[in-house]
A and B are shown apart, each in its own frame.
Chain A
Amino acid sequence: MAFFEVKDIKKKFGKTNVLKGVSFELEKGEVLAIIGSSGSGKTTLLRCINFLEEPDQGKVSVGDDVLIDIPSIDIANNMSDKLEAKIKKIEQGKLTEEQKQAKIAKLLDSEENKARKKWKKEHALSDEELRAKRLHLGMVFQSFNLFPHYNVLDNVMLAAKLQAKENSKIDISAVEKNALELLDKVGLKDKIHNYPCELSGGQQQRVAIARALALQPDILCFDEPTSALDPELTGEVLKVIKGLKNSDTTMIVVTHEMEFARKVADKVIFMANGVIEEMGTPRQVFGNPKSEKTKAFLQKAEEII
């Protein structure tokens, strides 16, 4: 069993099918880069893994801990008598065949949603359980999302300090020492007393990385960490992420930086229309793509550069 497993994640927003069954595995210390065109579901995938969005079905586990396990709900093959009767009625009605199909599909859809809601209600986690699960993962956002009213050091320490308050086993002085070390690691030792508004975008993103690392997540996720940055600031952030690879952090990086994916990732996933179109080592995906879609995407990316 792999260290981190994601199995058959599906997610719909209303009628749009955003993730149509995404599965992958990751070993400890590996870096996964996810590439793909806009709207292919990369952010949604990260958000599902990070409990910011609830998938419709799928399984996520880290080591022996199961974080998410939502079964598929197959209404069409497990119909209640009542539902069957309803469908029969539609079929015997006076609508055209097309209208009937549409009506039945809609009915099944709403039944499925009902069943899923019921399942989720029955399997709802307490806040504490949810928190324990989500702390396996860390997340760095495209827009940094630092807390503007805390200085750099407090941004990094806040969560750990609040944990220490609740749990007397955690040592507060160790929290501060750890935060200072992390800020040194991301090259911001001299900015610890500054507020986010006083930092450049690249510096803010590095604080966000330190903040995520402070909780020692098993897997650190990045959603286009450099997309909001000027080109000259991109490098400093990518360098930090590269440095983390050397210290054996397991990472998932959604990125448009092809060079970075090629050089730093151990594994590359190319997503298109809510599915993994291609997955492999950078050498396979970039050097010898099998899918036409991948080829077209990479060609386009090449042209832009």
Chain B
Amino acid sequence: MSFQEVTLALLEGTKYTMGLFFLTLIIAIPLGMVVAALAMSRLKIVSKITNVFIWIIRGTPLMLQLIVVQYVPGLVFGFPMKIRFLSALIAFSVNYAAYFAEIYRGGIISIPRGQYEASYVLGLNRKQIVGKIVIPQVFKRIMPPMSNEVITLVKDTSLANIIGIVEIIMSAKEIVATKGIIWPLFYTGVFYLVMCGALTLLFNYIEKKLDYYKI
């Protein structure tokens, strides 16, 4: 198999990798906000349950979660997951929402009390405090940990091959198995490096844009 053919085959896998990556972000970024809000709820029960949920998600391997989402509905509830990609998307979105929620929460907690108190005495209402004071500062604070997580997500997508998603690594494995050559497997590294490199540049750019003030 020629270099070009292998490249094309891996690019085919890249579609799934990128699809999973972007869709996970689109779902997990807002879902994480909901989870963070629930985790910080004043209702003790709600925050307790949410924290247990976060603990379970962060305390078990993503690979196991993929398997659970793919097989448990069929085995336990007689409701098999027909679309493997959907299973992967659910597992990734929930998993990353839990991690993002922790980052958001950390960012919100790190805003000093004085910022709220200054806002109160200036007569800002709750909506204005959140929108004009808290969120802009949280945004800056969470950028470094978020960029870490997002770059990890690129590489984590390879876990989806455990439930048969033909992403980059799986595409390479298929070539290795059928053609008896091993180098395509190493070649996948280049694809990940390119994607992570682009994201690194993007995040550096954003962080620089936010560098006009220090906290």
The answer to whether A147 touches B115, judged by C-beta atoms less than 8 angstroms apart, is: yes
Q: Is the C-beta of A59 less than 8 angstroms from some C-beta in chain B? A: no
Residue among A50, A145, A212 with max Cβ neighbours from chain B (10 Å): A145
Complex CA–CA separation, A282 to B90 (angstroms): 71
A51 / chain B contacts, CB cutoff of 8 Å: 120-121
| A197 contact from B114, B125, B137, B213, Cβ within 8 A | B213
Tell me which residues from 177 to 198 in chain A have a Cβ below 8 Å from any Cβ of chain B: 195-197
Number of B residues contacting the other chain (C-beta, 8 Å)? 22
B124 / chain A contacts, CB cutoff of 8 Å: 159, 162
| A146 contact from B118, B125, B126, Cβ within 8 A | B118
Q: Is the C-beta of A169 less than 8 angstroms from some C-beta in chain B? A: no
Complex CA–CA separation, A88 to B66 (angstroms): 64
Complex CA–CA separation, A26 to B85 (angstroms): 71
Q: Is the C-beta of A148 less than 8 angstroms from some C-beta in chain B? A: yes
Complex CA–CA separation, A138 to B112 (angstroms): 20
A158 / chain B contacts, CB cutoff of 8 Å: 122, 132
The answer to whether B132 touches A131, judged by C-beta atoms less than 8 angstroms apart, is: no
Q: Is the C-beta of A297 less than 8 angstroms from some C-beta in chain B? A: no
B128 / chain A contacts, CB cutoff of 8 Å: 162
| A50 contact from B121, B126, B132, B140, Cβ within 8 A | B121
The answer to whether A163 touches B132, judged by C-beta atoms less than 8 angstroms apart, is: no
Q: Is the C-beta of A139 less than 8 angstroms from some C-beta in chain B? A: yes
A162 / chain B contacts, CB cutoff of 8 Å: 124, 128, 132
Complex CA–CA separation, A234 to B98 (angstroms): 47
The residue of chain A having its C-beta at the shortest distance from the C-beta of B133 within the complex is: A147
Q: Is the C-beta of B78 less than 8 angstroms from some C-beta in chain A? A: no
Distance to closest chain A CB from B2 (angstroms): 54
The answer to whether B121 touches A149, judged by C-beta atoms less than 8 angstroms apart, is: no
Q: Which residues of chain A have a CB within 8 Å of any CB of chain B?
A: 50-52, 127, 131, 134-135, 137-139, 141, 143, 145-149, 158-159, 162-163, 195-197, 211-212, 215
19 A-B residue pairs with Cβ-Cβ distance under 8 Å, sorted by A, are A50-B121, A51-B121, A52-B120, A52-B121, A127-B125, A134-B123, A141-B114, A145-B112, A145-B115, A145-B117, A146-B118, A149-B136, A159-B122, A162-B124, A195-B212, A197-B213, A197-B214, A212-B121, A215-B123
Q: Which residues of chain B have a CB within 8 Å of any CB of chain A?
A: 112, 114-115, 117-118, 120-126, 128, 132-133, 136-137, 140, 212-215
16 additional A-B residue pairs with CB within 8 Å, beyond A135-B123, A141-B118, A196-B213: A50-B121, A127-B125, A131-B123, A131-B125, A134-B120, A134-B121, A137-B121, A138-B121, A141-B114, A143-B114, A145-B114, A158-B132, A159-B122, A159-B123, A162-B132, A195-B212
